[in-house]
Structure 1
Amino acid sequence: MASALKSLSEYTKKKNIDISEKKFAVVISEYNPKITESLYGAVIETLLKEGAKEANIYREDVPGAFELTFGAQLMAEEEDIDAVICLGCVIQGETKHFDFICDAVAHGVTNVSLKYNKPVIFGLLTPNTEQQAFDRAGGKHGNKGVEAAVAAIKMLGMKK
């Protein structure tokens, strides 16, 4: 398990760029709000810490994880948006619903990124239990929101 070896909140500044004029869209699932709001807080804190302007960070809420890809597409098609960060949490249940949703979101996020030639970051937690989700949303494994924000910055660095 990767998060057992390294905190999700640790990162290097290698390849980080000046993001003071970059615009970020954060698409967040309303499902599992205690977890997703913690992820969102970490994204905002990290982007601001790294130089983003609060006025250049836009939030769009969607009902659930499945809707992240359409929300990401709507944001990515906006020419002035430089990167999109998708945040959500799908906790393993007793049915195959988990597998279908996680797979669809992973493929959808990738497709949107390639279609619009801009970073679209997969910040979807896919834990087996609610406790594992909390552990990755500011708990003992750090916060996936930090990792998602840093990924967006580093991928923008590749585009320069």
Structure 2
Amino acid sequence: MLAVTLAALPSLLLSPSVPATGSRARAAAVRMAGDGPSFGDLDGSTARIGIIKARWHPEMSDSLIAGAKEALAACGVKEENIVETEVPGSYELPLAARYMALSGSVDAILPVGILIKGDTYHFEAISDSVSSGLMSVGMQTGVPILFGVLTCMSEEQARVRSIGPGNHGPDWGRAAVEMALLRQSAVGGPKSKFFMGFGDSGEDDAKPMTRPAERIGF
């Protein structure tokens, strides 16, 4: 019996069904967080970036946003071209992102939220709804919407991915600049709007745009 157990031990250690724990789990999480995409030189001097913060888990959300803003600054994004607002929770992020996209004030939007698994189905329902909603906003408006929502099984996982060397914020910031530049190239420049029946025709760009979204911080 002991021989069988020892023989099976290597495969058990390699099996993805056996979760890592303690320092091994933290090290693996940090390595995974560092395996993000590579970015070349990004000139974000004309990019207009929106950031929407969900107020749950503020320490971690603030750390993610700080990391994103450091990356934006490193890419040359001007402080006055960063539009920030906040909503109560992650479930409200898609609608806020839609308002911001339709305001014509930004080239890309980074919604930031943290969802942590609990004892009920709430986590799955919110995660699915938010991810689907954010994708839908981007497809409907033509404004790139980043997925800056951590969906974690524990608070420890969330902290590893938001505070310290595993902070996802810098990569999100660089991705926002890259997608903003992609949008600009697609619609004809930094001051162009992607019209889907919203607003005017864009013929008079010198005319200030009146929009209800100004009332909620955009």
TM-score in terms of structure 1 length: 0.90
Task: Give the distance between the partners of 1:109 and 1:36, measured in 2 at CA.
Answer: 18
Question: Which position in structure 2 is the counterpart of 1:150?
Answer: 174
Q: Which residue, out of 25, 39, 48, partners 1:13?
A: 39
CA distance, structure 2, for counterparts of residue 88 and residue 67 of structure 1: 10
Q: Percent identity?
A: 32
Superposed counterparts of 1:31-70, under 5 Å: 31-70=56-95
The verdict on how the C-alpha distance between 1:21 and 1:154 changes in structure 2, with shifts beyond 3 A counting, is: closer
Matches of 1:11 and 1:146, distance apart in 2: 11
Cα pair distance change 1:91/1:6, threshold 3 Å: closer
Q: C-alpha deviations, 1:52-88, integer Å up to 9, x for none?
A: 0011101110000000111111111121310100100
Partner AA of 1:4 in structure 2 = R
Instruction: Name the CA distance, whole Å, in 2 between partners of 1:48 and 1:146.
Output: 10
Give the alignment's TM-score, normalised by structure 2.
0.67
Q: Distance in 2 between matches of 1:126 and 1:47?
A: 23
**Cα displacement (A) at 1:13:** 2.8
Query: Are 1:88 and 2:83 counterparts?
Result: no
1:73 equivalenced with 2:129 (yes/no): no
Return the alpha-carbon distance in structure 2 between the equivalents of residues 102 and 67 of structure 1: 12
The whole-number CA distance in structure 1 between the counterparts of 2:71 and 2:107 is: 16
More strand by share: 1
Instruction: Tell me how far apart the structure 1 counterparts of residues 130 and 30 of structure 2 sit (CA, whole Å).
Output: 21
Distance in 2 between residues matched to 1:85 and 1:155, nearest whole Å: 11
User: In structure 2, how many angstroms separate the alpha carbons of the residues matched to 1:124 and 1:3?
Assistant: 17
- Distance in structure 1 (CA, Å) of the matches to 2:29 and 2:179: 21
Q: Corresponding residue for 1:138?
A: 163
Question: Which structure has the larger Rg over C-alpha atoms?
Answer: 2
CA drift of 1:2 comes to 7.5
Unaligned runs of 5+ in 2: 1-27, 186-218
Kept after mapping to 1: 8 A contact 2:33/2:161: no
Q: Which has the higher contact order (CA 8 A, sep 6+)?
A: 1
Note the C-alpha offset of 1:3: 5.5
4+ residue runs over 6 A deviation: none
